[in-house]
Structure 1
Amino acid sequence: MRKMTRLSVTTLLLAVPALGLAETTAGASDEARALIQQFASTLQSELVSAMKAGGPTNAVEVCQDKAPAIARTLSQTSEWEIGRTSLKTRNPDNAPDAWETRILEQFESLKAAGNEVAGMSYAAVLENDGQKVYRYMQAIPTQEVCLTCHGSDLDPALAQTLDEAYPEDQARGYSAGDIRGAFTLTKPL
């Protein structure tokens, strides 16, 4: 089986000529990736500061409060709706919709076929309530540092803090290299 790169996965739906939206969507994936980079680097900076100030338990507040605030700010200053989702959510507000679920499952299939998670993305032009929208998702690979809060062997104090902050938490038991979830972006066309 041929491995699909990020480019071939991303262009799969955008290359359909019947859509006639090539000019409208030109650069949209680049915009989405730039916003993801901004979101990820801002969040990472906040997490590093929180970890230095008070360890992993302190970082829970960053994910709970600052991550949604970062997404809101980026959404308000761009034409995009920006968020994160996963098949195993920590915060039920981040539960995937049907399209996101399907793309996350496709990401898992691609990973199982030997594709790298880093850079895995997917884009599509869809209709939402009568309006065409551009949707973009990029997989979030689980790194070693993520396992502190998302792995199988959590510190008991951290586990208690997570239980209190996220009573419906499903985002544990990951290993390095797993798909932790995805950034998900939507832009009206």
Structure 2
Amino acid sequence: MRIATGVMAAGMVLALAGTAAAEPAKQPSAAQLKEARQLATEFFSDLKGELQKAIAEGGPTHAVEVCARVAPGIAGELSTHSGWAVGRTALKVRNPRNSPSVRERAVLMAFKQRVEAGEPMKTMESAAVIEEGGRRYLHYMKAIPTKGVCLTCHGETLSPALKKAIDAEYPADAATGFELGELRGAFTFVKPLE
């Protein structure tokens, strides 16, 4: 129940941060940015560890189960203990619940343009303090590059068994056809400031 509550709260905060702000976004403080970066590193590390473990234990089809069941739990736990709404999003999502908000889509499009201009994704991020509905939020996003291992489940060619597992778990999957080095998506974090 704790994870579900954290995920629901995270969804509400992410939805709040999803509409366009009435005034230009403000920059976060160095301390706020440091906190967001640390959380992004923790989320990436936890998720990567679970995916590597799943692939080692049962191959890519087992990794699909981890993405479907374990990844939301990791995000929920981080949301609960950090006070941030933690999630993943992309322009081409596997899970419709990870579809980008208006603001997230704009950031993803900007990331895509930055990648096309040759900027490395390793340090690509976006951070802003936004005001909405009389409240202030810190919204941080960190680009996710498509790496070699990602292509197993997100590339052009999938094994028949893997395709079947993905279709069973995600009938509306749109997260295939990626190439090495392409923007896969972003980790997204929102924290109420007041």
Over residues 150-173 of structure 1, what are the superposed CA-to-partner deviations in whole Å (9 max), with x where a residue is unaligned? Answer: 000111110011011001101000
**Residue 157 (1) aligns with residue 161 (2):** yes
Q: Considering only aligned residues, what root-mean-square deviation do their CA atoms show, in Å?
A: 1.4
Which residue is 2:128 aligned to? 124
**Residue 77 (1) aligns with residue 91 (2):** no
Partner amino acid for 1:54?
A: G
**By how many angstroms is 1:59 displaced?**
0.8
- Alignment: residue pair count: 169
Sort the Cα spacing of 1:103 and 1:168 in 2 relative to 1 into closer, same or farther, 3 A.
same
**Residue 89 (1) aligns with residue 93 (2):** yes
Structure 2 CA distance for aligned equivalents of residues 104 and 127 of structure 1: 20
Partner amino acid for 1:95?
A: S
Aligned pairs for 1:40-189 within 5 A: 40-189=44-193
Aligned-residue identity in percent: 49
Unmatched segments (≥5 aa) in structure 1: 1-17
Structure 1 CA distance for aligned equivalents of residues 53 and 175 of structure 2: 22
Which residue is 1:3 aligned to? none
**By how many angstroms is 1:130 displaced?**
1.4
Structure 1 CA distance for aligned equivalents of residues 133 and 74 of structure 2: 27
**By how many angstroms is 1:128 displaced?**
2.4
Structure 2 CA distance for aligned equivalents of residues 48 and 114 of structure 1: 29
**By how many angstroms is 1:145 displaced?**
0.3
Structure 2 CA distance for aligned equivalents of residues 43 and 111 of structure 1: 23
Structure 1 CA distance for aligned equivalents of residues 165 and 34 of structure 2: 37
**By how many angstroms is 1:78 displaced?**
0.7
Structure 1 CA distance for aligned equivalents of residues 101 and 57 of structure 2: 36
**By how many angstroms is 1:79 displaced?**
1.9
Partner amino acid for 1:114?
A: G
| TM-score normalised by the chain length of structure 1 | 0.86
Over residues 162-189 of structure 1, what are the superposed CA-to-partner deviations in whole Å (9 max), with x where a residue is unaligned? Answer: 0110011010000110110001001111
**By how many angstroms is 1:26 displaced?**
3.3
The higher radius of gyration belongs to 1
**By how many angstroms is 1:27 displaced?**
1.1
Structure 2 CA distance for aligned equivalents of residues 129 and 148 of structure 1: 42
Structure 1 CA distance for aligned equivalents of residues 103 and 124 of structure 2: 16
